Structures are given as structure tokens and as C-alpha cells.
Amino acid sequence: MNDKTQLLKGILEGCILKIIHDETTYGYEISEKLKAYGFLEICEGTIYPLLLRLEKNGLLVSTKINSPVGPKRKYYSLTEEGKKELDEFYQNWQEISKSVNKLFANYQGSEQENGR
């Protein structure tokens, strides 16, 4: 499991819901906010299919709004179902991260264990 992509795949939707919860926003801005939080390897090509799926599943609604530069932008906001999904994601994340942190509390990495 050297590929972080698989690990991130399940987490990214919850993170996108949180960003949209905080503020109605559009795809490129979501991508930039994720990068600002340290998700440097996430590109817009990953974001847009997730937004489409979240909207298709009734967790988001979109509205096209005029942009100060260029064509209209598709702004996303959470539906009530999206808010419930975000709450559920957060509860699950709290439980999982607590368990993983507990498990790794005394782990120092295999290089340090071998005296490297």
C-alpha cells in the first residue's frame, strides 16, 4: 500500500463536503483549498468526478453563477442529506483516526527500530 491514492480515495469525499459546508464554492477553489490543507497531489481532474457523483447522489446542489472572468462557474452547496453525510463521515473519521493513532502511539518506524 505504497500508493497514497487508495487511502485518500475514501477520505476525499468527506473533505470536499466539509469545504462546501464552510462556504458555497466551485471546483477550482475546492482544489486550491485542499492544496492549502496539504492535499498537494489532488488535481482538478480528481475533484470534478467526485463533485458530479456527490451531486448525483443528492448530497450537493449546484448553481451556475456569472464569473468576474470567463464563463459562468458552477457553485456547490450541501443539501440536508449532504449535511447528514458530513456528520456521519466526521463521526466515522473520529473513531477510525482515534483507533489508528492508538495503535501507532509507540511506533517509531521500522528504520528506527532496526537502529538505522
Count up the domains in the chain and report the number: 1
CA distances (Å), origin 115, targets 27, 30, 104, 105, 106: 46, 42, 19, 19, 16
* Listed residue (14, 16, 18, 13) closest to 28, CA to CA: 16
Residue 110: inside a domain: no
Q: Is 111 within a domain?
A: no
Per-residue pLDDT tens digits of the chain, which is 116 residues long:
456 777 787 799 999 999 999 999 999 999 999 999 999 888 888 899 999 999 999 999 999 999 888 899 999 999 999 999 999 999 999 999 999 999 999 998 886 655 55
Is 34 contained in some domain?
A: yes
Question: 51 lies in a domain?
Answer: yes
Is residue 114 assigned to a domain?
A: no
CATH of the domain at 49: 1.10.10.10
**Is 108 contained in some domain?**
no
Q: Which structural domain range is residue 93 located in? A: 4-98
